[in-house]
Amino acid sequence: MTLSGLLRGLRRVLWGAPAPKAKRYGETSTPTSSTYYRGMNEDYRWFRQDELVRKCIVSNAFFATTAGYETILEAEEPKKYRQVEEKIDELNKAVNMDLALFVAQVKRSVYGKTGFEVVLDEDDYPRRLLSLQSTELKPDIDEDWTLTGFTYKGKKGFYEPGEVLYFTNLQLEADMLGLSDVEPVRSVCQARHELLRENFPEIARNLWAPYVILKADTSGLPSEEAEKAIESLAEVARAGKSIAVNESVEATVVDMTPDIDGLNGLLDRLEQAVTANFGTPRFLLGKPIENRATAYAELEAYVQGTVHSIQRYLKREVERQWYDRWTRKILEEEDTQTEPLPVQVKHRWNPVRTMDVYAMADAAAKLWGSHGMGPLGDNLEKIWMLMGWDPGELEEEAK
């Protein structure tokens, strides 16, 4: 047994598995009451409050990670290092890497950065990825632009470099601080908020219940009685109420006719600004499809652009920070050469379907026609290919 193995065994006997360094104090860090919005991080606030912003960010993360992934070995003799791949897969399962990558994409899009504390077990292998508060996490960079650790909640050097799995979004400088995707549309979010939560409810009330201005002559009444009379008139002057007045009261009905079409057009342009900012197709957000061919082309561009860009970044960071590190540790325990690594574990995303299944099913049904009398005739294989299904299934079904 190696010296490191003896030390791990001693630590396991004396202290057991290490506990997370980040502690939870007081209430949750995810407030649910609207009264907390004012002191909340502005980009996170709009992620919580604006349903379109949240849908865009979550959709991008979902489509980038939903198909899953596989680990692939790159070595001259892959079979010789099969145990490395099996161990890496075991670690990914233990920390729920699928969910971690989904959360990482959501948070780096909101905050521009995100990190997970790598919680180790008694054998110094990861057993959990603890999602950290992005606003409290800051990389420590020395004068040579080398990462020396992480500041967390104001404590410089709280984490060593290897204790955090760290991701950024659109990192343009060597400071390892990315940019938020929400920042460019903050003003758009504010405008949408005012329209949807403030203006439209008021407009809805005025559309079916125009208000009335009552002018009452109270010159002959004491001030207290005059005030009560005015309050009484205001109380009964509501939609659906009957009002009896004498000659000393004049009523003026004010019927507002807001430009609903113009407001809807403005709201639509604001929605387009948000979706364009995140690069998410509108029909993936529940918006009607005006042209199926355009929708398919838009989805194809989305997969090849936004989705693949997300996947490419996550793949490189996971390989660099995660796979190489644990591959080296596995080989060191087996007294195998590690410099350079004789084997590398690669992260390969499963292909994302580039068509809207329901829309394409409708198109395929029309091309098939009634009893195969459509343009494609009785060509089932062509229908299967159009839907993106495996034509081999037809042969198996026939058998």
Q: What is the pLDDT of residues 269-323, one digit of tens each?
A: 888 899 999 998 887 777 766 666 677 778 888 888 999 999 999 999 999 999 9
Q: How many residues in total does the chain contain? A: 399
pLDDT at 108: 95
* pLDDT for residue 48 is more than 50: yes
Per-state percent for the chain, helix, strand, coil, to nearest 5: 55, 15, 30
Written as six digits, the tokens of 162 are: 């290897």
Q: What amino acid occupies position 104?
A: A
Token pair 């939870």 is found at 24
pLDDT at 326: 94
Share of the chain above pLDDT 90, in %: 39
Q: Closest Cα partner for 134 from 156, 147, 117?
A: 117
* Residue 321 host element (H or E): none
* pLDDT for residue 360 is more than 90: no
Written as six digits, the tokens of 187 are: 């003003």
Q: 3-state class of 177 per DSSP?
A: coil
Q: Taking the model in full, what pTM does it have?
A: 0.72
- Helices 200-208 and 260-278, axial angle in degrees (round to 10): 160
| Average confidence (pLDDT) over 135-149 | 93
* Residue 280 host element (H or E): none
Lowest mean pLDDT of 137-141, 149-153, 337-341, name the range: 337-341
382 or 191, higher pLDDT: 191
Q: Closest Cα partner for 274 from 256, 292, 287, 293?
A: 287
Written as six digits, the tokens of 10 are: 């001693």
Q: Closest Cα partner for 65 from 101, 17, 104?
A: 101
- What does residue 240 show for φ and ψ, rounded to 5 degrees? 90, -5
- Helices 357-368 and 292-302, axial angle in degrees (round to 10): 140
- CB neighbour class for 328 (10 Å; exposed up to 12, middle 13-18, buried from 19): middle
Written as six digits, the tokens of 350 are: 């499963």
- For 205, 364, 386, the CA distances from 357, given in Å and listed in that order, are 41, 10, 10
Confidence of residue 16 (pLDDT cuts 50, 70, 90): low
Cis peptide before 340 (omega within 30 of 0): yes
pLDDT at 239: 46
Written as six digits, the tokens of 188 are: 């758009």
Contact of 165 with 129, CB cutoff 8 Å: yes
Written as six digits, the tokens of 9 are: 């065994």
| Average confidence (pLDDT) over 72-99 | 91
